[in-house]
Amino acid sequence: MQNILGVFSVVSLTLFPSLQALAEADVSAAAQERTGVACAIDGRVVDATGLPLPGVLVSATPGGDVVTDENGRFCLSNLTPGWRVIVVASLSGFRSETRQVDMPAPGTVASLDVPLQPAGFSDDVVVTATRTSRRLQDVPVRTEVVDKTLMHAIAARTLADAVEYTTGVRVESNCQNCNFSQIRLLGLDGPYTQILMDGQPVVSSLAQVYGIEQIPSRMIERIEIVKGGGSALYGSGSVGGVVNIISREPSRPAGGFETRVDVTEGHANYSHSGSIDWASSDRRTNATGFVQIDDVDPIDLSGDGFTEISYRKLRAGGGRASRYLLDGRAKLTGELTMLGEERRGGDQLHLPPDRAEIAEWIDTRRVGAGTTWFHGVNSSMDYRVTLAVADTHRDSYYGTGQDPNAFGVTDSRLFLADSQVNQYLGRHTLTWGAQATWEDLQDEQPAYDRFTDDVYRNVGLFAQDAWAFARGWELVYGLRADKHSAVDRVVASPRVAVMISPAESANIRASIARGFRAPQAFDEDLHLSSVGGDVRLIRLDPGLREERSTNYMLGGEWRPQAGIGQALFELNGFYTGLSDLFLAHEHDDPVTDAIEFLKINHGDARVYGVEANAGWGIGDAFVLQGGVVFQRARYGEAEPDFGSRNFFRTPNRYANLTMSWVTGRLGTIFVGLRYAGSMTAPHYAGFIDRDRVETTPSFVTLDASAAYPVYVRSTRRLTVTLAGRNLTNAYQRDLDQGPFRDSDYVYGPRFPRSVSLGLRAEF
């Protein structure tokens, strides 16, 4: 009977326009009475059983964002009649759904019901791979997402902590004194990875020296990771891939704070953070602010009087605000972030740095600001313009033997202008634009006769077409041309990617991309370390040429339904060929007090391997997932210092396994394992009698956490978390000791065993 009535209703509204108009008027009146505003689209979001879903983010393009109420209903207003609007409904634990709605005549309202299906694995809307918004499962270039849920589960304090459980990603410490760290993607060093803030390269070479441990987790909504050549869209420095930090944009008033204490080897470290979100009743204006304070105690693990864990004091804060204009078709966003960090390692930390045998003291201050204007001109075109500035100042002391002259000052001022136009032309999405960056880098280290005053300018033009030329097929091809001030000629970086979807749950992706790195000072060049009682520094060869790369990737994923949950199977192969490779080798000038290394072009190299992932999950209630990487990283000809053809600190095998279980009243339980296989590492004489290459042991680390909700009422929640990191205490056993140690001879996990207790409130 219900089916007959449904058919009768459709026929009646089709044959009798007056009845249809009356029905739409009734819906519009009911929606306006419920929401207090005139709706253009009145809708409801439900789960697979038809029950309403509150708290669903509903985004309209062009338009704005709203959140469903307790009955799963939403109201989109200020939409232009006659336009085609793209509506996306997203909720953690469910697959995002996209609908196209042709807006009706003025005074009427469109009705829309959106059912969401449970998803065992992340199905967010991502932007990094193509610089356009796409469903994660549908993006032609493979993208991985780290969301807030995982960051809470692993008790991530900074960006460095947050990405450690992503397959193919390794975070390593490179200095025993100050714990300078970097992110490696698929075997390539940190300078091959470009860190983006909301899609923009505003993290300068100086800011990246300690930056991955200075970007607090409180400011991060999610992290998108794209491996492989990204120069076609993002220019120099994205040879290994990009790590894009997405800031939070609130859709309703909310807030929260968290306080935590970590105990490591009897030392207590503290972290306090908070945020507050505000959104107007019509959802057209929103603002968010955050603050985070971290204090890390220095730790001497070997008992020789010299630290292995540096002292750190981080203070960070910032805010972001957006306003929708032009009837919701445009958005103006402004943001400001500030941070200050002091860190020190070595010995005699209670004395001034120049009274210690070894001291690395760094006082960093960074201010970043930016504004973005987005405008949906019509249903087939939108554009975005971004202006940003970042100023980083660092006072430092890199010295040995109580040298009174080893103080230094480094400044970096970065300016960025970026524009992008998206045109939606049938089956084509054409993206094109221009980007200009200007960085003034000044570095003064008088004790080592190093004075740098460089200006790096880069102008890039890019264009990309995403062409869905057949059912289940999509081709993405693009080209970026860069003119960098450190390179004599224009550098072209093309990319071609194709995705084949033989079924809704299966995708096959392949890509070829060219990339380059300009011959400029990177983070590793702006960090000084010590060995044998002397400071080691890197100078650039005056004839250094740009480094070029070609990256090939081929892989497939299958996400079938498996019982009451969803399974995941992934297999990806990768190959990166490098030419005119940058390599720092020992080139000491015996007249100076430092040990110099010279960065030169050293032939070619290749990094290749296979990455596999598998998992099974029931929404967000239970997720079991793991991945493994088998790879090789080899020079074309042996490096000159040790005669090795293998990349140092690059294991041939590494893996991870995680389990997350939301038990209900008992809270959330997380268990994670990470494995890093054996690798080779250079070890310079000082503590040891001669230079040699070491073969390291493998490591297995175990992390676990339990988050128990002690108070839950309406939108308020109070959660207690008990977490342990590196419970196996897998830490380097053969650390150098004393004032003549090689501070760069570090490998393995960044921290020994620690236990933390945290309290998080959300409202």
Can you tell me the distance from the alpha carbon of 600 to that of 607, in angstroms, rounded to the nearest whole number?
19
List, for residues 57-105, the tens digit of each pLDDT value.
Answer: 888 776 667 778 878 898 887 777 777 778 888 876 567 788 888 877 7
192: left (phi over 0), alpha (psi -120 to 50) or beta: alpha
Residue 31 has pLDDT above 70, yes or no: no
Q: Locate the DSSP E strands across 70-175.
A: 73-76, 84-90, 97-102, 110-115, 125-126, 134-135, 144-147, 169-173
Of the two residues 12 and 338, the one the predictor is more confident about is: 338
5 — pLDDT class (breaks 50, 70, 90): very low
Residue 575 has pLDDT above 90, yes or no: yes
List, for residues 226-241, the tens digit of each pLDDT value.
Answer: 998 877 889 888 888 9
**Mean pLDDT of the region 239-254:** 88
What amino acid is encoded at 452 in this protein? T
Residue 1 has pLDDT above 60, yes or no: no
Query: pTM, whole model, 2 decimals?
Result: 0.85
pLDDT score recorded for residue 433: 96
Q: What percent of the chain has pLDDT over 90?
A: 63
**Mean pLDDT of the region 627-651:** 95
**Mean pLDDT of the region 202-227:** 90
Q: What percent of the chain has pLDDT over 70?
A: 93
Q: Which two tokens stand for residue 438?
A: 């200007």
Give the 3-state secondary structure of residue 506. strand
Give the 3-state secondary structure of residue 120. coil
Residue 201 has pLDDT above 70, yes or no: yes
Residue 23 has pLDDT above 70, yes or no: no
Segments of the chain assigned to CATH 2.40.170.20: 125-762
Segments of the chain assigned to CATH 2.60.40.1120: 2-115
To the nearest whole number, what is the mean pLDDT of the chain? 88
pLDDT score recorded for residue 92: 62
pLDDT score recorded for residue 37: 56
Pick the CATH number of 125-762 from 3.40.120.10, 1.10.600.10, 3.40.640.10, 2.40.170.20: 2.40.170.20
List, for residues 694-740, the tens digit of each pLDDT value.
Answer: 999 999 999 999 999 888 776 678 999 999 999 999 999 999 999 99
Residue 466 has pLDDT above 80, yes or no: yes
DSSP assignment string, 573-615: EEEEEEES-EEEEE---TTSSSEEEEEEE--EEEEEEEEEEEE
pLDDT score recorded for residue 109: 81
pLDDT score recorded for residue 90: 80
**Mean pLDDT of the region 169-175:** 92
Q: What are the C-alpha distances in Å from 555 to residues 499, 513, 679?
A: 10, 15, 26
Distant-in-sequence, close-in-space partners of 162: CB < 8 Å, separation ≥ 6: 146, 150, 151, 154, 156, 217, 220, 223
The sign of the dihedral angle between the CA atoms of 614, 619, 623, 629 is: positive
pLDDT score recorded for residue 715: 66
Q: Cα-flanking dihedrals φ and ψ of residue 211, to 5°? A: -65, -35
Of the two residues 96 and 173, the one the predictor is more confident about is: 173
Distant-in-sequence, close-in-space partners of 120: CB < 8 Å, separation ≥ 6: 559, 565, 566, 567, 568, 615, 616, 617, 618, 619, 623
119 — pLDDT class (breaks 50, 70, 90): low
Q: Which two tokens stand for residue 741?
A: 């140690």
pLDDT score recorded for residue 600: 94
- For domain 2-115, give the CATH superfamily: Carboxypeptidase-like, regulatory domain (2.60.40.1120)
Least confident of 5-9, 468-472, 753-757: 5-9
**Mean pLDDT of the region 392-417:** 95
* CB atoms near residue 713 (< 10 Å): 8
Of the two residues 117 and 470, the one the predictor is more confident about is: 470
Can you tell me the distance from the alpha carbon of 553 to that of 149, in angstroms, rounded to the nearest whole number?
29
Distant-in-sequence, close-in-space partners of 690: CB < 8 Å, separation ≥ 6: none
Contacts made by residues 52-57, CB under 8 angstroms, sequence distance 24+: 53/91, 53/94, 53/116, 55/91, 56/89, 56/90, 56/91, 56/116, 57/89, 57/90, 57/91, 57/251
Q: ∠254-712-707 over CA atoms, to 5°?
A: 95
pLDDT score recorded for residue 8: 31
22 — pLDDT class (breaks 50, 70, 90): very low
